[in-house]
Amino acid sequence: METIWGSGDQHRPFYMEFEKLFRPFIEKEMEHPVILTANSWEEFIIVPVKRSGERHGFVVIGPSIQQVPTDEHIHGLMNDNQMSYRDLPHWKAYWDSLPVMSRLRLLHISVLAHWMINQEALEITDVLQYSYQYVLPTMFQNNIEIEILTKRELSVSNHSSKIEKRLLELIRTGNTGELMKQWIAFPNEGVGILSKRSQLRNMKNLAICCVAIAMRAAVDGGIYEELAFTLSDLHIQQIEELNDIKAVEAALVRALLDFTERVEQSRKESMSKPIRICCEYIFNRLYQEITFDKLAELTGLNSNYLMNLFKEQTGMTLMNYIQKQRIEEAKKLLNMTNDKISSIGLRLNFYDQSHFIKVFKKYTGMTPKKYRSTLKTEG
């Protein structure tokens, strides 16, 4: 094996040595290129070099990275690998130095490199499928087939899907009361095993699956898609942090109720599709500039007609609706953070502090300062 490594890579990834990362892959008889992702997000293309049908060696192309990791991802990675935060600036510099390359681009490069080296034409789907198949041990697929055979032989089956469908329908229709009644009657036996090593991990996996499915039902029920995804992420993050089975179950119930209650509230707001598009766009962009022209473009309606239709269905002008939503957001920030009042106003796109105070008082009857002090007194 011959390797060439840039002299500037003083802070290498966790594999430390080139050979340790690639040896398990090159010892197998590779037929097609493989895209390999390292523990620290770098990606490499491994291309076999074949002559007369036999492999003579391999070429490694990389490293690249799909995107520079966020602070949250970095924090999790450093915890997983017990890294010292003193090295964090060096790691960030290393990731910033890597070329950003999408998975699609890597697949095209794989196909091109394989053609140049081996004069063999491939589709990018061939490379993608082969990469997953190559990385995953064959024993996993064999185990799945054995488990299916065993369950069929012993006539073992999970409970009927009718109950799950009923629960999802209750979330989709925002029926909180009936949801809880059905949950009480929900059988625990035969639910399925998603982890054989740990009952806590099994319960977490089941809860995460439930949250993901409930999120889709809630979107079908009418809550904003972006909100639904955010809620799903937050509930799953909370479930992941728990270390008690009963707490996991409680967190799951809270998540299901959260989705159902929000659907129930959404269904009370009878709106046409164009107005719902406007409201969702406003909800997702309270911290950005919102123009009437953009809303008209999204709905495909004349701006004057849209403004009249909006007032007819919501009882508020578009401007007043945007202001009210921003004030509702400001109330949350005043309650949940220690941010300066002036900073909150600027973040929510008010011209200046006096404008923010004036609009805030219009919708709440008090200044932001008074509102925050009232919350502290009540607390």
Between CA 275 and CA 127 the distance in angstroms is 45
pLDDT at site 280: 86
What are 300-325's pLDDT values in tens digits? 999 899 999 999 988 889 999 999 99
Range of weakest confidence among 107-116, 183-192, 238-247: 183-192
Confidence bin at 86 (pLDDT 50/70/90): confident
What are 120-164's pLDDT values in tens digits? 999 999 888 888 777 665 555 556 566 656 555 555 455 556 777
What are 332-344's pLDDT values in tens digits? 899 888 899 999 9
pTM, 2 dp: 0.60
- Which residue in 167, 259, 183, 176 sits closest to 222, CA to CA? 259
**346 exposure class (CB count in 10 Å sphere: 0-12, 13-18, 19+):** middle
Confidence bin at 326 (pLDDT 50/70/90): very high
Ramachandran category for residue 358: left, alpha or beta (phi over 0 → left; psi -120 to 50 → alpha): alpha
Geometric angle at alpha carbon 244, from 242 and 249, rounded to 5°? 85
What three-state secondary structure class fits 9? coil
Cβ 106 vs Cβ 37: under 8 Å: no
Structural Rg of the chain based on CA atoms:
27
Cα 353 off chain centre by: 35
Residues whose CB is less than 8 angstroms from the CB of residue 373 and which lie 6 or more positions away in sequence, other chains included: none
pLDDT at site 53: 74
What are 93-103's pLDDT values in tens digits? 888 888 999 99
pLDDT at site 10: 47
What three-state secondary structure class fits 126? helix
Residues whose CB is less than 8 angstroms from the CB of residue 203 and which lie 6 or more positions away in sequence, other chains included: 245, 248, 249
Confidence bin at 7 (pLDDT 50/70/90): very low
Average the pLDDT over 287-301 and give the result.
91
